[in-house]
Structure 1
Amino acid sequence: MGHKLIANRQLPHCPLLALCGHVYNEITECTEQPCDGFYWVHVSTQSWIDQVQNGVGMGQTVIVVSPQLALNELQQALQAGARGYCLESIPLDALVDLIHAVEQGGIWVPGGMLGSLVSLLSQHEAFSFFDETQLTLTDREKQVVNEVLTGASNLTIAKTLSITVSTVKDHMASIFRKLGVKDRVQLLLKLGQFQKLRR
């Protein structure tokens, strides 16, 4: 799978360099040959929002990369059609998780920003709250959801509930299926609130 990195500055410690191999200045430089991977657009790129929109307009999967996470950048990236937003220094294991999540149709948002994003989205006039009485989740699945509401990672949830990470992933898959969502962002939007679920 070929990935292409678009940035206007050197990124010596960026794990994406190993994945992409070459840095382009503009998305138009690297679109002559179709890419079966992702386009990674760094916010240092001139008119980076336009670059994201161009890539999305060509039917490409675009991820926005930043030296420092900022809610306004995340919002702009998602509004432009990006499928993810991450640090330029994203750890390799998180990079693998990001790629897997987006390949499965999800959107990648750094865990620490998820609560802020959903809070921002919940202020939109079309937002409505989910009726908890409609949940068909088991008690254990509700415990997992309650941990997700705190922004906990799968590893943290596993430690808190004294279960394996694999079991957490199984519970998350079941929760997503039961609620008809693809990822944590959609789960939080569907729930529409940060109140702990009753068991």
Structure 2
Amino acid sequence: MGKFITFEGPDGAGKTTVLKNVVERLKTSKFEMADFVITREPGGSKVSNQIRDIVLNQVDANIDINTEVLLFAAARRQHVVEKIVPALTDGKTVISDRFLDSSVAYQGGGRQFGLDKVLDINQYATGGLEPDVTFYLKLEPEVGLKRINTTRTGEINRLDEENMNFYRRTVKAYDQIIESNPQRFVVVDANRPLPQVVDEVWSKFLNVM
């Protein structure tokens, strides 16, 4: 079996940008890119991307919380069976921009659905699959929201438009997840300039490979 590595963090932490930089370094390193599968959630497969369009659409802002949780889990299920597990079975390293922890933090904590309830639903959806290593970019919610509003030029989705209390609950939920799984997480301070964050993540990434 290959290794499963995920990247997590609150909105504005620069997670996706850091991951892109890590991938660029991989291309010029000793590693063979054919041994890696880079993916994201929600998404990662045709069906999962279609679900992504539903749950993150700014117009459809009145999705019931139960529906939202189940849709994220459904997208994850398809992602796991169609892309992640086959790649791991082939001995490849799978790197995903978000996974189960995001649902537990955002829906369980941010939406106040309940961390354990979201975890139970997603344990069924993933068949118990968990990452081997999770890089968490730690950032205060106030800083993250400011970054979203002032610097983000890419996708702005429905979750980016929540209030500050939502983000505080989400970050608190992440802290609880990390406290329960300290051996799995590599926590990186994302308050610093991007090059410093990328350098630290890359160094620690090499240590876990």
Structure of higher CA gyration radius: 1
Q: What TM-score, normalized by structure 1, do the two folds share?
A: 0.33
Higher relative contact order (CA 8 A, sep 6+): 2
